[in-house]
A and B are shown apart, each in its own frame.
Chain A
Amino acid sequence: MKIFTKKNYMFFIAAIFLLPNLFVMALGIESFPYTQAPMFGHYIDSETKLYLLKFEGHKDGQTIDLVDYYGKSELRFIRHFFSKVYGSSEYFTPFSGRVIEDEERFNERLNLFFESFEKFLWEEYQLRFDSIEVKIAQVDGERNLIGDFRPFGIYNCNTEEYKVIMD
């Protein structure tokens, strides 16, 4: 029996290109160029809670809003933080290439992100902080604040540890 036939070659190519797509669809993950195309997939109506995130640096009692120091657009910075670092509260998230998620991995990622961000702030802007705080505020569709920004998590630059604020 001949193995190297045109038909077998086509089956091989089909498998090579379809299997990764099947894999990302089944597990609900994405990593370029493979995607389960989740655009606009999550349901939104007037009851959906919408949030904004912001990062603040603290040093010697002074606070700096870091929005001008992200080094890229807010869209890219927050999406990177949400997709690649923080991750969804749901087990399967379409916004990352991670198959497994647990608290230890979550903390590792957060520490890694802030280590990199802290390094960037120093090298690019010569900014150093005691801590970097993430804050969250609920907004409506027109971005009007519904209440003030509240603490979401804090990274201690001295101990190099991120802590989730649960209140």
Chain B
Amino acid sequence: MKAILNQGLKFLSNPLFTLRIFLTLLISKNSLERLNFLVGVKNNEAYELSLTWINSVLPKEMLVSQSNFEFYHYLIIICTVTAVIGLFGRLSIFILALTGIMINGMVEGVGIFDHNLSLPSQVFFMLAFLPGTMSYSIDGLILNRIFKKRYFGGTDQKIIKMSTNLILLVLVFTYFTAGVSKLRYGGVEWLDGSTLSFYIQDKMLDYEEGKKQILLGRSIGEEDFEWKGPFGLYSHTYGNYRTSPAHRVFNTWLGTNEYLMSIISILTVLLELCGFIVFINPRLRNIYLISVIAMHSVIGFTMGLSFSYYRVICVLLIDWRSVFSDGASIYQGLKQRKVKLLYRTQNR
């Protein structure tokens, strides 16, 4: 039992390995779903305005169409298997990551930028280049046999730490950017909670087609483009996908509580801006990542925006060695207290 636990901890302590397995499966699943979406949706022409930066430099023939749909379908399935077992692992991850970025770029071109996929796509792409990703892989076994020593990266803790810190840096930077955006576009007023209150109570899916997507407008300012018309449109809104009565009751209660909404807004921005604490020590890193998971869970519960891929990445980046060692010390502490209490009781 102890051996199994130790082996489990060894796997968990190598986020590069666990990220390789989980992100391969999640991103491949997403790519296959989006592939079907792209060939199913009618108005999907990849014309100039719908191309992302990356897709605009790819040859047009590479973009998904009815003629290459099957090719991509099988390519994703084959690369998923080879990336998981680690046979031509880096190449497989590279192909899967690039295919996913291309497919989701096309989905953005059709209309919606999927923020749930932005960070995971980058992290997954990084795995193709970071040392340590191919721990526990067929590639590693073959290279170890050929070079009669541990394959570059292998399970060397120093290498794993360096690569993990780089992934953490990109993660922290993403949240920091989100915090900056809230203050940049919403100003300090954003902290009063009315914006989140609007989104939490919105019932977008209740409305008929033609009445779902709202745009925000204001009086034209001096620096605005007045030649775009007199309505001063400056943003589209995001959707709340919750429809169940239970969620609605909770959302109304939460959304109408001004103080609570303001506290949640302030905590959200603080959390997003303070991500760099993850580099101070493993305990703060764990506290931060668990807080982020909690934040996404609240958003998921109230708005139906799961951000599950972010949550998976955060769970895998938790320093599990530190969690277990803290857990063990707490357990030991409690045990000693119990012994002392027993000793005192017996001596009375």
Contacts and interface: CB of A to CB of B under 8 A. Distances in A.
A147 to B, nearest CB: 12
A52 B211 contact: yes
Contacts of A82: 215, 233, 236
A84 to B, nearest CB: 5
A95 B235 contact: yes
B41 interface: yes
B348 interface: no
A126 B27 CA distance: 38
Interface in A117-167: 117, 119-120, 124, 136, 138-139, 141-143, 152-153, 164-167
B319 to A, nearest CB: 20
A94 B185 contact: yes
Given A49-B216, A51-B217, A95-B236, A37 B174 contact: yes
A61 interface: no
Q: By CB atoms of chain A within 10 A, which of B54, B224, B232, B233 has the most? A: B233
Interface residues of B, number: 92
A85 B112 CA distance: 13
A73 B204 CA distance: 13
Contacts of B177: 21, 24-25, 35-37
Nearest to B204: A75
A136 B217 CA distance: 11
Nearest to A33: B121
Interface in B84-118: 101, 104-105, 107-115, 117-118
B229 A91 contact: no
A36 to B, nearest CB: 5
A103 interface: yes
Contacts of B227: 103, 106, 164
A32 B43 contact: no
B213 interface: yes
B219 to A, nearest CB: 9
Interface in A1-49: 6, 9-10, 13-14, 16-18, 21, 24-25, 28, 30-46, 48-49
B186 interface: yes
A89 B180 contact: no
Interface stretch (B44-52, B70-78, B321-329): B44-52
Contacts of A101: 225
A126 B110 CA distance: 21
Contact of B213 (A74, A106, A124): A74
B234 A89 contact: yes
Contacts of B136: none
Contacts of A87: 228
Nearest to A143: B211
B190 interface: yes
A106 B131 CA distance: 45
B111 A52 contact: no
Q: By CB atoms of chain B within 10 A, which of A30, A89, A117 has the most? A: A89
A122 B305 CA distance: 36
Contacts of B228: 86-87, 89, 106, 164
Given A13-B129, A77-B111, A116 B218 contact: no
Interface of A: 6, 9-10, 13-14, 16-18, 21, 24-25, 28, 30-46, 48-54, 65, 67-68, 70-80, 82-91, 93-95, 97, 101, 103, 106, 109, 112-113, 116-117, 119-120, 124, 136, 138-139, 141-143, 152-153, 164-167
Given A31-B105, A50-B237, 10 more contacts: A32-B118, A41-B178, A42-B186, A44-B194, A45-B194, A75-B112, A75-B212, A75-B239, A90-B225, A164-B228
24 contacts: A6-B162, A10-B162, A14-B166, A21-B122, A21-B174, A25-B180, A33-B104, A33-B122, A37-B177, A39-B238, A44-B198, A44-B237, A46-B194, A52-B210, A72-B41, A74-B209, A75-B212, A77-B111, A89-B233, A97-B52, A106-B228, A112-B48, A116-B49, A138-B217
